[in-house]
């Protein structure tokens, strides 16, 4: 049987599982399925796995894995443990009871929270109201978390509001800022430099070190943006502190 996946070593204590070369919803579902299976049934020495667009990085503790009898390396042994999880037939790929979670993300658009909202509207020959409507009328699949702790890389944004990144990045972008860059939208979880066009801000805290897990968002979830006014923003901000 032809394998639709490949294994690559990441140093001496991780395996990179590549499931495809192109991003797709079906590939993402396979990735999330593998992540959930490893979380539910971890092998001895398993530390964590990091999902991305077409890959999953699986990290393990060499000492906990122990000797890999019958295999030249522990890497080969770990690959042998992963293979059965990847070779289940299509009927098993969507695990029952694991429907995607939709996270409601309130956003105060424009004003000082969204200094680039007008630019996004002008670039696409739309009104500000149209940009907000288009941005909030669909759900966004989180493919991966990265760049900054808790930053969601999402798919599904309409090309009607696609806008190039800023030519000169800002030195500081406030935490909670919602931005657009090309055909992607994202949320800055912490204050950091950034070049995305900022159209609003959410009062939610996406990254908190005193929480487990510390990130509010996870790969496989969906985000649904909801437009709110300044008063509700301030109220929710107080609650999230």
Q: How far apart are the first and last CA of the chain?
A: 53
Fold held by 6-87: Gyrase A; domain 2 (3.30.1360)
Fold held by 102-240: Cyclophilin (2.40.100)
Instruction: Please report, for the chain, the start and end positions of each structural domain, with discontinuous segments joined by +.
Output: 6-87, 102-240
Average pLDDT, integer, range 198-208: 94
Q: Provide the whole-model pTM.
A: 0.82
Q: What is the mean pLDDT of the chain?
A: 90
Asked if pLDDT for residue 4 goes beyond 90, the answer is no
Asked if pLDDT for residue 180 goes beyond 90, the answer is yes
pLDDT computed for residue 93 by the predictor: 47
Considering 51-55, 89-93, 197-201, the range whose residues carry the highest mean pLDDT is 197-201
């Amino acid at each position: 049987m032809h394998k639709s996946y490949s294994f690559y070593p990441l140093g001496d204590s991780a395996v990179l599982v590549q499931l495809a070369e192109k991003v797709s919803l079906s590939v993402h579902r396979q990735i999330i399925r593998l992540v959930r299976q490893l979380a539910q049934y971890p092998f001895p020495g398993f530390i964590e796995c990091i999902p991305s667009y077409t890959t999953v990085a699986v990290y393990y503790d060499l000492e906990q894995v122990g000797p890999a009898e019958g295999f030249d390396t522990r890497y080969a042994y770990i690959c042998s443990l992963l293979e059965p999880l990847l070779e289940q037939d299509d009927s098993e790929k969507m695990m029952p009871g694991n429907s995607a979670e939709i996270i409601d993300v309130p956003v105060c658009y424009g004003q000082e929270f969204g200094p680039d909202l007008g630019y996004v509207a002008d670039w696409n020959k739309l009104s500000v109201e149209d940009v907000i409507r288009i941005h909030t009328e669909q759900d966004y699949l989180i493919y991966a978390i990265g760049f900054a702790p808790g930053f969601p890389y999402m798919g599904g944004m309409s090309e009607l509001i696609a806008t190039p990144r800023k030519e000169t990045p800002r030195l500081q972008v406030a935490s909670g800022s919602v931005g657009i860059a090309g055909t992607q939208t994202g949320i800055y979880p912490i204050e950091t430099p950034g070049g995305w066009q900022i159209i609003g801000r959410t009062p939610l805290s996406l990254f908190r070190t005193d929480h487990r897990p510390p990130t509010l968002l996870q790969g496989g979830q969906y985000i649904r943006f909801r437009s709110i006014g300044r008063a509700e923003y301030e109220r929710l901000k107080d609650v999230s502190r």
